[in-house]
Amino acid sequence: MASSAKERMLGHLKEQRFQPARDQLTPQDVQDLKIVFDAFDVTNNGRIDTRDLTRALRALGFKVTKKDIIEMMTDYGLDDKSKIEFDDFLRFVIDRQGESRDIKEELAQGFKMFDVDDTGKITTQTLRKICQEIGESFTDQELRDMINEADQDGDNAVDVDEFTSIMLKTNLFNMPDLADQLNPSLMK
């Protein structure tokens, strides 16, 4: 069998193997998780190492240790030196979703990703920095409107409680948010 035909056949078999994983997610979930995966794929080769897998899962709010990652890798017949492709990443995320989640802790972590200046507040200026980092463009008025929507105490900033409130009210905590697209080196 020619090399390219063999590669296509292996790719098709692998795609079939992971189809059930994709079926458990909405197309938007898959797209959002691809953004997260790509943010940690610093070499842009479609693969991440175990260190980046750990960081990506933590960015998604999962509490994982190096031991957890090694166990997951073993369960999938991979060793800890293996590189993880996107479909493997999807399977890991789906498997971890079955475990209990601490939504409040996830939201607190999400807030910390937006609080790039570590002031305990998200301001129009910090929101602008984040938008620039991920390549989104908003007018000053749009940024002010976003802050005003969540600001409950009138200080023109969003604290962790206000952030939690707006995220729960809008149900945005169920999907990866803009913070997941940030450069991993900026994450705390």
Number of domains, the chain: 2
Residue at a domain's end among 97, 121, 152: 97
**pLDDT tens track, the chain, 188 positions:** 444 444 544 443 344 344 455 666 778 888 888 888 988 888 889 999 888 888 888 888 788 888 888 888 888 777 767 788 898 888 888 877 765 456 677 788 888 888 888 999 999 999 898 888 888 888 999 999 999 999 999 999 999 999 888 887 765 554 344 344 443 433 33
Alpha-carbon gap, residue 147 to 163, rounded angstroms: 10
- CA dihedral angle for residue 62, residue 96, residue 93, residue 101, rounded to 10 degrees: -50
**Do 179 and 137 share a structural domain?**
yes
One domain, residues 20 and 91: yes
Residue 108 and residue 144 in contact, taking contact as beta carbons nearer than 8 Å: no
Range(s) of the domain holding residue 48: 3-97
Residue that finishes a domain, picked among 33, 65, 97: 97
Q: Residue 132 CB: number of other CB atoms within 10 A?
A: 11
- pTM to 2 decimals? 0.44
Same domain, 50 and 121: no
